[in-house]
Each structure stands twice: as C-alpha cells, then as structure tokens.
Structure 1
Amino acid sequence: MPITRRAFALGGTAAFAVSGLRPARAQTTARLGGMQIDMVTDGNLVLPRDFILGPMPDEGVEAILTQYNVPEGALTPPCNLTLLRHEDRVILFDVGSGPDFQPTAGLLPETLDAMGLYPEDITHLVITHGHPDHIWGLLDDFDEPYLPAAQILMGRVDFDYWTNANTVDTIDAARQSFAVGAQRRLAAVADLVTFFEDGEEILPGVAARASFGHTPGHMAFELRDGSESLMVIGDAIGNHHVAFALAGLALGFGSGSANGGANAGVAD
C-alpha cells in the first residue's frame, strides 16, 4: 500500500514521517524487508486548541492549519500505534489510552480484534513515553496487565521521571493527573519492564533513538532490515502540518503535554 512520505534525517539515516492518519479500523501496512508494519488506531483525542498550540510562538501557525483545512475549535489528533511483526515476534509500540482517559480513545482492543489478534498474541510492548494516550492502556479492568504475555521495554529516563514521587508536585496543575495515572500503572508493571538506554538495539532490528523533549525521556525507534529503515517517532512530531512547514519552530510541548500523533515513519 502506498504511503505518503516526508523526509527527515536522524543520525545520518534517511527517514520519512507518516503523519496525521485519521482514525479508522483498517490498518495501513508497510513492508520493510522481512518486517510487516501495521499502523493501527486507538481512536483520537479531543483537546482544547491552546493545549497544543498555546505554547507556540506566533509564527503563522493558524494560517498553516487553515491551509490544510483544520477546523477551528478543539483539535482531534489521531492516536495511532505501530504494530511490528518480525520473525516470531509481535511487537506493539505503545498501548493506547485504555478506558479511563477520553471516550474517543481506548479503541485498541477493538482494533486488535478486527485484525484477528488477541492481547496474548503480543510478545513485546515498546513504550515511547509515559503520556496517557501511550500507556494508560497498560492495565485491564481488573488492574492486571492488558498484554499478559508481553515483555515491556521502556527507556530508563522516562520511567524514572514518571515514577518519581516528586513529579506530581513539579508538573503543571493541568497535567497532574497524567503523573498520577502514569505512576499507578507503571508501578503495577514495574517487575515486567526491561530498561534500555539511547542507542541500544533493544530487539533484533529495533534500535532506540533518544528524542527527548516532549517528555524528559521520550524515545523514537529505528527499525532496520538490510538497507531499509523506518522510524517509529511517537510524539517527536506534534502537529505534522506545523512541524513540516516550520521545521525550526520550538513547539514547547514539554513533559506535560499529551498529543496523539502519528506513530511511525517509513524510509527506503
């Protein structure tokens, strides 16, 4: 299936970001050597405009959004997750919002079911960062791991930030619930987490790439098979229209923002 591509560079690797896919049950599939990559939906968020755009300097941001027919009022960024099937592994990048964040999100169980997958089929869960739309789906309704067979991999820096008892007191008030929710869920699965640092090959063909800023330990991941590579970018790109039009703009999201973005990019 053809994928719209926009070029960017990371560590000398040519990569292409795929952004802004609207929520849909059907997945977008790409192939990378022996890897199959599906972009799947967890729904979408509904956020006050200032929540994302407020910190941005006045650089014609609204004009850019108007150009791309983004309506006024609340923003509805999609929550896209990446599913990688490679050899005998079924790897999910982030686990979505679960049922407790926003009613328009938390659709991952239905999406997996539509794909013919059970939670038990996921062998690895790789976490980009600790915002609600990326980790609040860690636990099921009984506070048990939603993906019972999955090894969980998460960057040490972000895990330490969200589990630090001081974070709830230092994050801004509008986002204190993010810290409380992350702390509870990560504490529940802490014994299942394998930690990694920037640059490590965390699984065959999957390398961690630090993209700190959106959160203190936000991570992206380079998928590689031979000469081809793909980036799972998490929320390293916020609003893709603005990011590509004003590549040098400091978006100012910081550790406190939540922003469902595209979750993958492809390169060849």
Structure 2
Amino acid sequence: MRITRRDIMTGGLAALATGQAMQAFAATEMALGPAQLTTLSDGNLVLPLDFLIGDLPQAQATEALAQHGITGDTLTPPCNLTLYRDGTNTVLFDAGSGPAFMPSAGKLRDALDAAGVAPDEVTHVLFTHAHPDHLWGVLDDFDDPVFANAAHMIGQAEHAYWTDPATVGTIGEARASFAVGAARRLEAIADRLETFTPGQEVLPGILAHDTRGHTPGHVSFEIGQGNSAVMVVGDAIGNGHLALAHPGWASGADQNAEQGIATRLRLLDRLATEGMPMVGFHLPGGGLGRVERAGDAYRFVTEV
C-alpha cells in the first residue's frame, strides 16, 4: 500500500479566459494493489457553529473546539470526495454540492479536470447519503445529469427516506430544503439509479456497511484489494475534532443523535483496532488518514 500527497494545480478554461488566478486542489492518493484511490476537493462549507453543537452545553463545546483552534460563530469544513480507479471501473463516492448549495463548494468539476478525469468517464457514483453536499452535484446548471454514462447507486433505506413525501414535513424547518432538493435530484436520475442494502458487495471489492445515524440510511464503503483496504466513511465520522476527541457526545449534524453516537463509537473502534485507513468527507488534509486511540478518545493522523 502506498500513500502520497501532492497539490494539483488547475484553473480551467473559464479561469484562463477571465484572467482569474489558478486554483489549487489538494489531492491525496493511495495505491491499493493495482488500483488507485484519490481524494478530490469540492471546496468547503460555511456552517453556523450550532449546526454541530446542537444541544451540547455551549460553554463545554466551545472550550473543546477552541482546543482545536476553532473559534467564532462559524465552521468551514472541507469537502473531500473519493475517486477510485481499478482499471475497469472509475468510481466516484458522492457527487459534491453542485452549483446550487453554497458558493464556497461545488468545485468538483475543476478537481476532476485537475486529476485528468472527465465526468463522462465516471462509470459509477456511489452515495453515502443524500445531504446536499453529497448529492446535489449530480445535476449541472441546466439540471442535466453531470455523470451521463454512470450508474448511480444509493442505499435502499436512504432512498426510501428522501423520496417519501412525508419527509419534508417531519425533518424540521432547517432541513426542509434538503428534503425538497434530494427528492428532485433523485427523481431526475431515477432512470440511472440503483439501490442496495448494507452488507452487499455493490461492485467488485466494494462492500457497503450500515452506518446510519447521520441520516436514516447512511452507509460507508469498504474498498478492498488483496491485503489492503480503506473505508470511505462519509459523515459517519463528521469532523476531525469533537467526533474524535468526544465521540460519545451527540452531534447536532446527526438526524438521530443516539444512533450517530453508536455508529461512530463502533466505527472508530474498528478503524483504530485494525489500523485501516479511512477517508472522511469533512476531515482535514484531504480526508485520508488513520484513527489512533488517545486515552479514552481518538485522534486522526493524516501522515500514515
């Protein structure tokens, strides 16, 4: 297994035409036997701090975040997508935000271009869940599918939840737009969308795991080649600070806090015990690293 880090420079034709500065997209690469895994930046989110803190005691949570250099009223988590190429399939895990969610995100097209991959070369798009920063990038500015030649795959429970007309009225006002947007996009790609259940090998060497809690049908994907494996965890481990330093604390980002805690503790224990690398969608350094135990807590190590 070989892991390297490099910066890919890209600007795109639009940037060249307007004279805008080139943009750098940090990419982390990992060899899995003959296959290659690359993380790509979709930019970052800008979120109110209470989106993460939720019902936690304000002072305690603020002090814990300050220990990680996070102060102020907002968070700016990175968005790391995973590209996996095994010589037969070109697989993208999640699709990013697209143009309609936040101006700080939706940079995937540029990152793919920097990696030398055209959207029509992607053979499969696998979703961890259907939140905007993971799903909305399936459509472009004209509401046409971005990955025109790809099969799109989502967990059965996740699909059922976001396509249920009752969801928009029960998910809460703050996330109602998530439900409307997910239903519209899932309908738009319905003719190329497949569902699966956790425990299923969705593609050769790619196993889906039940990691519900962040959403009702959230899944993580274990990618294996020979004796090497990596876990794409999506938002089951949602950040590199509270989720690891205080994994038993509820996260305001999880739709079911208690399920989220149970999933997080189980996943962290396995990753630390087995020493398996993982990719976290909102973790630092491109999202690829290992989990190590730190007393009763954990830490994320990007240099492996």
Calculate the TM-score normalised by the size of structure 1: 0.86
1:31-83 Cα offsets, whole Å, 9 max, x none, are 12222111101000001111111233568332222122123221001111000
8 Å Cα contact 1:231/1:264 also seen in 2: no
Write the distance in 1 (CA, Å) between the matches of 2:248 and 2:76: 24
Q: Which amino acid counterpart does residue 55 of structure 1 have in structure 2?
A: D
The aligned residue for residue 167 of structure 1 is: 167
Aligned pairs for 1:132-143 (under 5 A) are 132-143=132-143
The aligned residue for residue 153 of structure 1 is: 153
Q: Structure 1 residues 250, 256: closer, same or farther in 2, change over 3 A?
A: closer
SS at match of 2:50: helix
Question: Which ranges of structure 2 fall in alignment gaps of 5 or more residues?
Answer: 6-22, 258-279, 291-303
Write the distance in 2 (CA, Å) between the matches of 1:241 and 1:26: 20
Q: Which has the larger radius of gyration?
A: 2
The number of residue pairs the alignment matches comes to: 248
User: How far does residue 253 in structure 1 lie from its aligned partner after superposition?
Assistant: 2.8
Q: Could you say which structure has the greater relative contact order, defined with CA pairs below 8 angstroms and 6 or more residues apart?
A: 1
Write the distance in 2 (CA, Å) between the matches of 1:212 and 1:222: 15
1:192 paired to 2:213: no
Write the distance in 2 (CA, Å) between the matches of 1:199 and 1:87: 24
Aligned pairs for 1:5-44 (under 5 A) are 24-44=24-44
Aligned pairs for 1:1-268 (under 5 A) are 1=3, 24-57=24-57, 60-255=60-255, 261-262=282-283, 265=288
8 Å Cα contact 2:28/2:288 also seen in 1: no
Q: Which amino acid counterpart does residue 224 of structure 1 have in structure 2?
A: G
Write the distance in 2 (CA, Å) between the matches of 1:61 and 1:220: 27
The aligned residue for residue 10 of structure 1 is: none
Write the distance in 2 (CA, Å) between the matches of 1:168 and 1:256: 16
Question: Which ranges of structure 1 fall in alignment gaps of 5 or more residues?
Answer: 4-22
Write the distance in 1 (CA, Å) between the matches of 2:86 and 2:190: 26
1:141-190 Cα offsets, whole Å, 9 max, x none, are 22221100111111010011001111001111011110000010001111
The aligned residue for residue 17 of structure 1 is: none
User: How far does residue 266 in structure 1 lie from its aligned partner after superposition?
Assistant: 5.5
SS at match of 2:102: coil
Q: Which amino acid counterpart does residue 63 of structure 2 have in structure 1?
A: A
Q: Structure 1 residues 134, 103: closer, same or farther in 2, change over 3 A?
A: same
8 Å Cα contact 1:126/1:154 also seen in 2: yes
Higher helix share: 2
Q: Structure 1 residues 59, 240: closer, same or farther in 2, change over 3 A?
A: farther
CA RMSD of superposed structures (Å): 2.3
SS at match of 1:27: strand
8 Å Cα contact 2:81/2:92 also seen in 1: yes
